[in-house]
Amino acid sequence: MTEDIIIFTGSFGSGKTEIAINQSLAMLQKKERVILVDLDIVNPYFRTRDKREKLAEIGVEVIAPEGEFALADLPLISPEIKGSIQDTNRVLFIDVGGDEIGAKALASFYTVLKDTGYQLNMVINPYRPFTRNSEQIEVMLKDIESFSRLKINGLISNPNLEKQTDLNVIRKGHEIIRESAARLNLPIKYLTIEKSIYQKIGQQEFNEKIVLIQRFMELPWEEPETERNINKNGREPKD
């Protein structure tokens, strides 16, 4: 199975965009060419394309609707996406829109992806309204698979209540993902914890791999950490 096409799907607001940005930046340490595709046809705000310039400066190529359509609330799919899938000289991350509706956009690449292979991950935050237990998660997973025509081959556990996240919140939420993994017979690829929260709760043992992430989509009243975060994680800007 290909390791260089990594797709993030999941319910609306499950954390796909943040994880996709974090994983693309981490990949820069290993691979020369990293492409991040913003395939979000659902969200009008908080999209990868909002961070495009900064990401490009660090070395992540972002593919998203451009120019006069970048800010439109239209379900646009960039023509470069298909080319980026067929290109082999790169690692490709695809950030898909939420729910089965968002996953529908993936179906347009079904014919290419079935030949190239892919890693299709479902990001789950059990504190989100429609993925609160393993029954609901199964319904969401089946819907995403049927709309995208692709098979999900791993779960990413992202249990959080943003600033109210503590160890108990992570443990209780992660347990639901474990139940789902057993029910669906799928691996948990990793558990994501926000770096600042991990520092607060101290080192913890989980059976699964832990991936620390940093938030990039800040709110206007929060300290603008984005630039610092990207510079810290990314490669030195090329001159």
Q: Interface with another protein by CB under 8 A: which residues?
A: 12-13, 43-46, 71, 73, 125-130, 132-133, 160-164, 169, 172-173, 176, 219-222
Least spacing, CB of residue 142 vs another protein, in Å: 16
Least spacing, CB of residue 107 vs another protein, in Å: 20
Q: Which is nearer to another protein, 45 or 203 (CB)?
A: 45
| Burial of 6: CB neighbours in 10 Å, binned 0-12, 13-18, 19+ | buried
Distance separating alpha carbons of residues 82 and 141, to the nearest angstrom: 24
Least spacing, CB of residue 190 vs another protein, in Å: 19
Q: Which is nearer to another protein, 31 or 161 (CB)?
A: 161
Least spacing, CB of residue 156 vs another protein, in Å: 16
DSSP 133: S
Q: Residue 145's closest CA among 3, 9, 36, 17?
A: 9
Least spacing, CB of residue 208 vs another protein, in Å: 19
Q: In a 3-state reduction of DSSP, which class is residue 196?
A: helix
Q: Which is nearer to another protein, 54 or 119 (CB)?
A: 54
Q: Which is nearer to another protein, 75 or 235 (CB)?
A: 75
Distance separating alpha carbons of residues 225 and 146, to the nearest angstrom: 38
Distance separating alpha carbons of residues 136 and 3, to the nearest angstrom: 29
| Burial of 203: CB neighbours in 10 Å, binned 0-12, 13-18, 19+ | exposed
DSSP string of 81-115, one letter each residue = HHHHHH--SSEEEEEEPSHHHHHGGGGGGHHHHHH
Least spacing, CB of residue 170 vs another protein, in Å: 11
Distance separating alpha carbons of residues 99 and 11, to the nearest angstrom: 4
Q: Which is nearer to another protein, 118 or 216 (CB)?
A: 216
Q: Which is nearer to another protein, 120 or 124 (CB)?
A: 124
